[in-house]
Amino acid sequence: MSVTRHVTAGLAITLVTPWGSEAQRPVSENVLISAELPAVRIAVDSTLTYVGTQSLVLFGRTDAEQHFFVDADGSRLRRMLWVQFEGKRPNDPGTYNYSRYPVMDIGGHPFHHDGRFFEIRMDEERSGSDFRGALEFLQQHGYSLGPDVMRQRLVWLLDDPARNELMIIYFEDLQDRGLALADLEPGGKAAERWDEIADALLSRAVEAMTFSDPPSH
């Protein structure tokens, strides 16, 4: 992978060359443009700052291109929007399956969604996974996430059979919502409110981005 950063008239544009191919999805002025898989334009709210992008091969079977937008208090991340374009390589015959999760329409596209809360333990994250790669990328750029977080994951399956996906994960640090992990665990003071909290988190995730068609050429 090669990463090229251009600055022209005060506008920073980051281009990534993943997997030895030509540069893929550029970001400028907080707008991510994808020409294919899927063809979409994602405008991210200005309260989230674009950090950069990287491309990974997950366990030798899956290609992933990651983009990160953050809201930080110094080095601590209050919020993060992680956009990932992912596709299985020919040596992986499998398909993606999110049938257990509900589907909602976002910008005219069907997204499976699920929410959870957890403690991040980087040393326990599997080496070679997308999340471990994301945490290491953020660390290299001077940021830390968690440890106690909640997140909503949104997944758009792009083909049939489902071998390519657009995954978007929106994180918030629990402390910025006046919560601790123990509050949401069974018996915790906010445990019975988790569905309400998760729904509000989902709304904030959706509000953080706007989908439209990419420019035609």
CA gap 75, 96 in Å, rounded:
34
Question: Taking a C-beta distance cutoff of 8 angstroms, is the pair 127, 136 a contact?
Answer: no
Q: Would 217 be classed as within a structural domain?
A: no
CA gap 86, 101 in Å, rounded:
19
CA gap 187, 208 in Å, rounded:
32
Residue tagged 């990328």 (tokens): 137
- Looking at the chain, the number of H-run helices and the number of E-run strands are 3, 13
Q: Which is nearest to 67 in space by CA: 21, 120, 26?
A: 26
Q: Would 164 be classed as within a structural domain?
A: yes
CA gap 5, 52 in Å, rounded:
9
CA gap 171, 82 in Å, rounded:
8
4 φ, ψ to 5°? -120, 130
CA gap 187, 179 in Å, rounded:
14
pLDDT tens sequence across 11-56: 334 333 333 333 489 999 999 999 999 999 999 999 999 999 999 9
The residues near 198 (Cβ < 8 Å, ≥ 6 apart) are: 115, 150, 152
Average pLDDT over residues 110-114: 99
pLDDT tens sequence across 139-198: 999 999 999 999 999 999 999 999 999 999 999 999 999 999 999 999 999 999 999 999
Number of domains composing the chain? 1
Q: What is the pTM of this model?
A: 0.89
CA gap 28, 10 in Å, rounded:
11
Q: Would 138 be classed as within a structural domain?
A: yes
Find the domain containing 107 and state its range: 2-212
Q: Would 90 be classed as within a structural domain?
A: yes
